[in-house]
Structure 1
Amino acid sequence: MNSRPPDAQGPPVGRRLLLAVLGAGAAAVAAAPALQRAMETGLGAVADKDPTGLTGLLPNGGGFRYYSVVSSVPRRSAADYRLTVDGLVDRPATYTLDSLRALPQTRLVRDVQCVTGWRVPETPFEGVRLSALLDAAGVRPGAKAVRFTCFDGAYSESLTLRQARRDDVLVALRMRDRPLGHSHGGPVRLYVAPMYFYKSAKWLSGITVTDSVRPGYWEELGYDVDAWVGRSNGRDDAPTV
C-alpha cells in the first residue's frame, strides 16, 4: 500500500541536496568574473592570430566581439609603449604609459554600440581627455581635424577638431575598471562615447592634428565619417549618451 500523500509528485528534496545546489550556485556566481576574464583572454588571443576575422563573430562573456584588420598585432608593454602628438601643434610630445597615467583621469560609463548591431550596456572607460592633450600641444590656427594611427600598422580614424574636444572623448587606459588588455586595444585606445565603436580606435599610437578630416580605415570602405549612434550608417539605435 502506498503511504505517500496523494499530492506528492516525487521524492522529497533532502536538506543536503538543497544545500549542495545552493552552494554550487553561489560558487558559480563567485567564479563568474574570473571565468569571464579567462574567456576574454583566450578568445582575444585566438582572434589576434586569426587571419579570417571569423572569431569577430563570436561573443565573449562581456558581450564584446574581437576584431582586427590585420592578422596579428604586436604587443606593447608599459616599458615600450609610446603615444605621439604632432602635426599642426606648437609643442609636439611623446607620452609613455606612466606619463599618461600621471595626468588627470576621467571616468565615463556609457553603453557601447557597434555598427554591426551588438551593444554592451553601462561600460566604464577611464583615461585622459583628448582635449587635455591637444591643449598641452598647442593647436595651431588653421587646424580642423585630428587623425589617429595605431600600432597594428593599418588602422586609422579621424575626428573634427570640435568633436575631438568633447568632454566624452578619451585617450582611454582602463575599461571596466581594469587596465586595458591587448585584445581590447590596450594598453591605450581612443574612446569616442557618442559614436559607433569603430571610431574608438584600438592600439592607439599617434595623434596628428591636421587641416582636414581624412577618412579612416572603415570609412574608406563605406562607413560614415560622422558616426553618431542612431544618426548615421542607416541605423536608428538609441544614443549612447
Structure 2
Amino acid sequence: MESKRGWLKQSFGKRLNAIHSWNAWILLLLTITGIVLSIGAIRGELGSIRVTLKQLHIYLGVASILLIALYTPMIRKHWRQIRARRNQRANLVFVLALLAGWAASGVILWQFRHLPPAWNNTALLLHDLLTWVGVPYAVYHAISRSRWLKRQQRLEQAAGAAKPPAAQPAEKDPVAASEATVEHSTAQAVIAALKDSPITRASFLRIAAGLVIVIAVGPAFYRWIKGALDNGGSATADYIAGDGNSMLPPPAPLPDSAAVVGGGAQGNFRIYTVTEIPAFSSDTWQFAISGLVDKPGVWNWEEFLKLRRTVQVSNFHCVTGWSIYNCTWEGIPLKELLAAAGVQKKAKYVKFYSGDKVYTDALSLDQAGGDDVMVAVLLDGKPIPQKLGGPVRLIVPQMYAYKSVKWLQGIELIEKEHMGYWEVRGYDNDAWVNRSNNA
C-alpha cells in the first residue's frame, strides 16, 4: 500500500520517465532471451538452461504487459502534453502498437496448449514480424534519443541563436539604397543557403544510424520474410537439393505418395537440432528393433526398403508454435513393426534412438499403437532430407514434434518409463497437441 501511495505521490513526469526506463530494460532483456531461444543450432548446448530462459522470457513478457497497464491511466494526459509534437505522437502510437501486438501474440504462444494450432502459427508469425521491426526501431530510437545527440542538437540551436544580426546599410539615395538592399538581400540569401546545411550534424548522425541498422538487419529480414511468405514448401525442395545423405537406392514412392495426395506440405519447417546435423550412407546405415521382443531384428538400407509401407496425410506441430499442414508421409506403421517383432507382456514402453547418438524419446505401448504413428521414409513423394530427419524419422502427428524422433535408427521395448531428451530438461511428457486426446 505504501509503495502504491509513494508511486502516486511522484510527479507525472517522474512516473512517465520511470515507466519508460523500465520498459527499455525489459525490452532489452526480452530481445536477448528471444534471440538466444530462436537460434536452433545451440539448443543442445543450452539444454535445461533453454527451458529456464523460456520461462524468463515469459515472465519478462508479463512484466511488459503490467507496464502497459500501469501506463494506460496516463495516456490521455501524456497525449495532451505532446499534442504539438507530431513526431512524438507518431512514435507513441507506433510503440504502443508494437507492445500490444507483442503482448497479444506472446500470450497466445504462452498458452499454446489450450489454443488451436492455427492461432499459434499466426501468433508466431506476428511475434517474429514485430520483433524484426520493433527491435531495430528500438535500437534506432535509443541512438537518436541519446544524450550525446541531444547535446549536439542543443549546441547547434545555440549557435544559430547566437548569429549576429545583419548589418544595416548606411543612408543613401533612396533609389540606389533600394537597389543595393535588394542585391544585398539576394547575395546574403545565397551565402546563408551555403552556410546553413539542410541537414544538421545531429540529423546526419540519425540518418547514418538508421542506414547502418537497415544494412545490418535488411538481408536477414529479407530471408526471413521470404521464408515466412512461402507457403508452398520451396524451402523443403532446397533441403532435398542440398541433402547430405547418400542413401542408394532411393525409395520408390507408392502411387499415392508420388501423386502427393495431401497436396504438398503447406508451410516451412524450422530446423532445430540438439547436435550437429548427421549425414548417413546406405553403405553403413542400419535399423534395429530389440529389447522385450520375441524377434529382434536388424535391417540394412535395401532390406529396410522392402518392408511394407503405407501413405498418410497429417499435420506436423512444433511445441514452439509453428505448424506444417497437409504433409504426405510414406512409411511403415509403427504398430506393424512392433507386431512383427512380437512384443512381450513385460513391455510397457517403446524407446526410440536417434542416429545422432544423443537424442532419445519414448511412447507408451498404447500411444505407439496409434494408426497414424509411422516410421517414415518419404515426404511428399521424396526421400526425407537430412535436415528434416532423414533418411528415416518417426512421425507422431497428434503429439508435438519433439516426440517425432529424427534420424531414427533404433527401437527398444522396455518395461520402465523413459524420459526423453527434452523431458528431462523440463518439457512436458504429455505431448498431445490437443489435451482432450489424453483421456
Q: Using structure 2 for the length normalisation, give the TM-score.
A: 0.40
Counterparts in 2 of 1:196 and 1:90: CA distance versus 1, 3 Å: same
2:366 aligns to what? Answer: 162
Pairing 1:225–2:424 present: no
1:142 aligns to what? Answer: 346
Render the CA deviation track for 1:115-171: whole Å, top value 9, x for unaligned: 110011111111001111111111111110000011111101100011111111111
1:201 aligns to what? Answer: 405
1:27 aligns to what? Answer: none
Pairing 1:40–2:239 present: yes
Q: Which structure has the bigger radius of gyration?
A: 2
CA contact under 8 A between 1:113 and 1:229: conserved in structure 2? yes
2 CA distance for matches of 1:129 and 1:221?
29
Which residue, out of 171, 180, 195, partners 2:375? 171
2 CA distance for matches of 1:113 and 1:36?
17
Counterparts in 2 of 1:44 and 1:219: CA distance versus 1, 3 Å: farther
After superposition, residues 86-101 of structure 1 pair within 5 angstroms as 86-101=290-305
Render the CA deviation track for 1:85-116: whole Å, top value 9, x for unaligned: 00001111012222222122111111111111
2 CA distance for matches of 1:154 and 1:187?
17
2:153 aligns to what? Answer: none
1:29 aligns to what? Answer: none
Counterparts in 2 of 1:106 and 1:69: CA distance versus 1, 3 Å: same
**Percent same amino acid among aligned pairs?**
41
SS in 1 for 2:302: helix
Render the CA deviation track for 1:41-94: whole Å, top value 9, x for unaligned: 58987xxxxxxxxxxxxxxx9411001101x23311223211110000111101
Q: Using structure 1 for the length normalisation, give the TM-score.
A: 0.71
Q: CA deviation at 1:37?
A: 4.5
SS in 1 for 2:435: coil
CA contact under 8 A between 1:150 and 1:204: conserved in structure 2? yes
Counterparts in 2 of 1:208 and 1:34: CA distance versus 1, 3 Å: closer
Pairing 1:66–2:265 present: no
CA contact under 8 A between 2:393 and 2:404: conserved in structure 1? yes
Pairing 1:109–2:313 present: yes
2 CA distance for matches of 1:103 and 1:165?
18
1 CA distance for matches of 2:350 and 2:307?
21
Counterparts in 2 of 1:142 and 1:200: CA distance versus 1, 3 Å: same
CA contact under 8 A between 1:73 and 1:151: conserved in structure 2? no
2:82 aligns to what? Answer: none
1:152 aligns to what? Answer: 356
Aligned length: 186
Structure with more of its chain in helix, by fraction: 2
Q: RMSD in angstroms over aligned alpha carbons? A: 2.4
Q: CA deviation at 1:33?
A: 7.5
2 CA distance for matches of 1:102 and 1:74?
24
Pairing 1:77–2:286 present: no
2 CA distance for matches of 1:226 and 1:99?
34
SS in 1 for 2:304: helix
Give the structure, 1 or 2, with the largest relative contact order (CA under 8 Å, sep 6 or more): 1
Q: Which amino acid aligns with 1:96?
A: N
Q: Which amino acid aligns with 2:397?
A: A
Counterparts in 2 of 1:38 and 1:215: CA distance versus 1, 3 Å: same
> Which stretches of structure 1, 4 residues or longer, exceed 4 Å deviation after superposition?
32-35, 41-45
Q: CA deviation at 1:34?
A: 9.7
2 CA distance for matches of 1:192 and 1:34?
20
CA contact under 8 A between 1:128 and 1:170: conserved in structure 2? yes
1 CA distance for matches of 2:387 and 2:399?
20
After superposition, residues 19-38 of structure 1 pair within 5 angstroms as 36-37=235-236
1:216 aligns to what? Answer: 420
Counterparts in 2 of 1:230 and 1:84: CA distance versus 1, 3 Å: same
Q: Which amino acid aligns with 1:110?
A: S
SS in 2 for 1:117: coil
CA contact under 8 A between 1:77 and 1:187: conserved in structure 2? no
